[in-house]
Structure 1
Amino acid sequence: MSLRRVESALIPSATAEVARAAFPKGSMAIRIRDELGVPFEDEDLAEAFSTRGQPALSPARLALVSILQFTENLSDRKAAEAVRARIDWKYALCLELTDPGFDHSVLCEFRLRLIDNRMEQRVFDAVLERAREAGLVRSGGRQRTDSTHVLAAIRSMNRLEKVHETLRAALNALAVAAPDWLVTVAQSDWWDRYDARTEEFRTPRQTAAKVELANQIGADGMRLLLAVYSESAPPWLREVPAVEMLRRIWIQEFRDEDGQVRWRTSQEQPASSAPGLPLRRGRASASSAIPSGMASRSTSPRPAMTAHLM
């Protein structure tokens, strides 16, 4: 990713006109732009971005997107959608109404660049200082906007959305491949819990509520995996791609704690935690929430894992 200079302080006239008409009382995004101004310039973040190669999206804008998504409790996918679709976000980001936005994966790459260059604290300290000056955050108040908290909150939202969508995809695939079998194992509340598409899924704001929901999703997914890997289930169900993805993601995201499925903390996650990537060798404990029959398969190489049936 390389650096591209943009005039991020200028709001396009058409964007400003439409935003004022659509939000006569303003919105949080509009207030952030009006009261904080432009917390960053691209040059402030130049250390993390090359000046050569294919021009990047404005780092200053991506930093502001990260603040907006934290404020509204949005995952990367929903934040990218907000950049494309929401007028008040285009106003805050000084974008033309016709700006197409970017792929949500750009936000993850941006944060990794900041962390790799140890710039995350500098970025969010700048926002905190501006917010205090504007009266949006009281000095010594309970609202946390330090870099560690902001990045952890965004990461947890993305992880929660991922496990929800992974289980939803597996249920949809099995509903097509083996509808009669699925009816015999599915719980009655699954249909309501996993009916919502990713775009409609809302993550709780409070940490305790996020963990509670994640644990519930984890338990539901484990129940489905146990059913798929039971002796009475057709063996070919294990080969359904969405089921295999569910198995992999559950190894990465959950662990066994006294017979209960629990969401891993960030520190407990395996070294490789990207969707679709096999776990790295030598991480035997990563499957502690997965029955041994699921932890390895003869059809493809797997790291040696020891596990027990919960």
Structure 2
Amino acid sequence: METARVAWAAFPNATFCMRVRDVLGPLFTDEAFAGLFSGRGRPAESPGMLAIVSVLQFVEGLTDAQAADAVRGRTDWKYLLGLELTDQGFDSSVLSEFRGRLVESGCTEALLSDSVLDRLKTAELLTPGGRARTDSTHVLGAVRSLERLELVGETLRAALEAIAATAVARQNLSHRL
């Protein structure tokens, strides 16, 4: 796969994402989240992939838009997710929808089950002990907070643009009078 060749050329010492894939293989399977998606209609993004992206998003403190950009643009993320270099990723709203489905279905424990955490600890990719919370509810809550912060920023930007447009329109009107 071209993605693996490019990832190893760019990161000969491997990144966290590359080590996770090489040591553990797939962390999540689509079957673990099968109940969240309908068998009919437009094909959904891989729920196993969305689960991995959600965890990486939490680990790196990214908003939905930043995480979707990382899927599109970061070679090490594409390597972990098993994507081709040319994969265009998905819209950031997909992450919010995925988290909503997880919460509604009560399947949040599938995101960071003890078996996943144990596999990460055994492979020395997650340090044991420490005070960081790793339960899935905390992960989902932290990512949701980042998403809300991003929405507030976008709302503020849109409001400022509207104010600026109104000011220009008033200025043009006063020049005509």
TM range (shorter): 0.7 to 0.9
Between Structure 1 and Structure 2, the one with more helix by share is 2
Q: Which moved more, 1:125-134 or 1:82-91?
A: 125-134
Distance 2:150 2:41 in 1: 33
Aligned pairs for 1:47-66 (under 5 A) are: 47-66=35-54
Residue 167 in 1 paired to residue 159 in 2? no
Q: Distance in 2 between matches of 1:151 and 1:54?
A: 25
TM-aligned CA distance change 1:144 to 1:36, over 3 Å: farther
Q: Paired residue for 1:86?
A: 74
Q: Which runs of 4+ in 1 moved over 3 A?
A: none
**Distance in 2 (alpha carbons) for counterparts of 1:144 and 1:114:** 19
- Distance between the aligned counterparts of 2:143 and 2:42, measured in 1? 27
Structure with larger RCO (C-alpha < 8 A, sep 6+): 2
- What TM-score do you get using the length of structure 2 for normalisation? 0.87
Q: CA deviation at 1:170?
A: 1.4
SS at match of 1:161: helix
What is the CA-CA distance between 1:179 and the residue it aligns to?
5.5
Higher gyration radius (CA): 1
The answer to whether the Cα contact below 8 Å between 1:137 and 1:143 also exists between their aligned partners in 2 is no
Q: Shift of the alpha carbon at 1:54?
A: 2.3
Aligned residue number for residue 178 of structure 1: 167
Q: Which runs of 5+ in 1 are unaligned?
A: 1-12, 182-310
Check if 1:68 corresponds to 2:73: no
In the aligned structure 2, how far is the partner of 1:21 from the partner of 1:174? 48
Show structure 2 runs of 5+ residues with no match. Answer: 171-177
How far apart are residue 158 of structure 1 and its match? 0.7
Q: How does 1:291-306 map to 2 (within 5 A)?
A: none
Counterparts in 2 of 1:90 and 1:96: CA distance versus 1, 3 Å: same
In the TM superposition, residue 50 of structure 1 has moved relative to its aligned partner by 2.4
- How much identity, in percent, do the aligned residues show? 56
Distance 1:164 1:99 in 2: 28
1:56 is paired with a residue whose SS is coil
What is the deviation of 1:180?
A: 10
